[in-house]
Amino acid sequence: MSELKHRFITTNGIQMHIAEQGEGPLVVLCHGFPESWYSWRHQLKALADAGYHAVAPDQRGYGQTDKPEAIDQYTQLHLVGDIVGLVDALGDETAVVVGHDWGAPVAWNTALLRPDRFRGVAALSVPYTPRGPAAPLPTLKAIFGDMFFYILYFQEPGKAEAELEADVRTTMRKTLYSASGSIPAPTTMPTPRPKEGTGFLTTMTDPAELPAWLTEADLDYFTAEFTRTGFRGGLNWYRNMDRSWEMMAPWNGAKLHVPALFITGDRDPVLSFGGAGVQALKENVPNLRESIMLPGVGHWTQQENPAAVNATLIAFIKSLR
């Protein structure tokens, strides 16, 4: 049985920390916000045992990987370049790329831009949506107006950092619990909140005890990482949405043809504003092999139900040529 190992590689001009396990065809696991390689802790061993070389990096701005100071160094093209460079650094010609949350657009775009290097793509929580005719942030501002929306709140450098870093353990506990399938189902639609006096954590629930899928040791790891690094690196991904949209102009409306898998939970809050993207997946991703919705699972898909995710993911990878 192979052991989990850690090391650093150079990719796309940065030093990247990776966790890896197993030998065989390469599978790259891209985490989301606010997470790290650790969010794939249940998948690394399962993929290794199934005969794959599973690699989970701390992505740009996170964990032990470099965190460029300039905000414009966190576009989708930078992030895709990091993953392509990772595959190069490992000496592989091709890989399967998997992403969750913000890691999902990285995985989708990596497969879109470099189908010659990625023989399959699997995404959790966030569906593939082709670049549209309008920039994301003006569109969100038109929709939400004077009401609070977290992506717009994240745009001002320093503001969200101050809130999230005031008590990192509470931030992580509330965030992980409140977006999960463990929180009691709301009886009514959430009430829109004004911008003034509202923060990311304002209406989140602080649980009296952790759900079964999240241990105190897990919370310790996430807390230690973000206490050390802060949240700025991850927040900078949000601050490049319009810049990434501009840079992706050559792929406007592009369909993604690499063999694909999509997994989400029926209690994932992303469905409240991303459901249309799920419905349109087969049209936008013609080679979508399967779209799975896991009952009782919220946003932290691979952490909340690792057994189902592992089985589905391994079956998909084995089906690829």
Tokens of 157: 């450098």
Residue with tokens 């996170």: 62
| Known catalytic membership, residue 299 | yes
Tokens of 229: 């690094």
Spatial contact of 110 and 84, defined as CB atoms under 8 Å apart = yes
**137: number of Cβ within 10 Å:** 17
Amino acid at 201: L
- DSSP state letters, 103-130: HHHHHHHHHHH-TTTEEEEEEESS----
Who contacts 103 (Cβ-Cβ below 8 Å, separation ≥6)? 29, 30, 31, 32, 59
Radius of gyration of the CA atoms of the chain, in A: 18
Cα 129 → chain centroid? 15
Task: Write down the catalytic residue from 88, 101, 220, 268.
Answer: 101
Spatial contact of 126 and 118, defined as CB atoms under 8 Å apart = no
User: What is the phi-psi region of residue 24: left when phi exceeds 0, alpha when psi lies from -120 to 50, beta otherwise?
Assistant: left
Quick one: which H or E segment has residue 29? strand 26-30
| Known catalytic membership, residue 66 | no
Residue with tokens 């310790």: 220
Spatial separation of the C-alpha atoms in residues 163 and 153, rounded to whole Å: 11
Tokens of 230: 């802060």
What residues act catalytically? 101, 299
